[in-house]
């Protein structure tokens, strides 16, 4: 298998809510949420179509081409 050329800029491009966004190569989902100014409990996240609980965001390193969705949690009674 041929590995892709290393990104010289140290950045990767992810799709954030359908729009391309450059992030540092070692950024986690938690880093991105913080960088965007969201309180961790104020937003829900999905990575490549899979819901990611708040407690797992710091362990999910973003990679080139990942699709990230941020959405408001739904609460009610």
Would you say residue 2 has pLDDT above 50? no
Give domain limits for the chain.
12-71
pLDDT band at 68; cut points 50, 70, 90:
very high
44-47: strand order across its sheet: 19-24, 11-16, 67-71, 44-47, 50-52
Would you say residue 67 has pLDDT above 50? yes
Give pLDDT tens digits for 7-47. 568 999 999 999 999 999 999 999 999 999 999 999 999 99
Of residues 8 and 3, more confidently modeled:
8
On whether the CB atoms of residues 29 and 45 are closer than 8 A, the answer is: yes
The CATH number of domain 12-71, selected from 3.30.750.24, 3.10.20.30, 3.40.50.2020, 3.30.413.10:
3.10.20.30
């Amino acid at each position: 298998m041929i590995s892709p050329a290393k990104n010289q800029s140290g950045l990767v491009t992810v799709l954030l809510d359908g729009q391309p966004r450059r992030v540092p190569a070692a950024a986690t989902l938690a880093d991105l949420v913080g960088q965007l100014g969201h309180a961790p409990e104020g937003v829900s996240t999905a990575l490549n179509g899979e819901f990611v609980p708040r407690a797992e965001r710091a362990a999910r390193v973003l990679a080139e081409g990942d699709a990230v969705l941020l959405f408001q949690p739904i609460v009610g009674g």
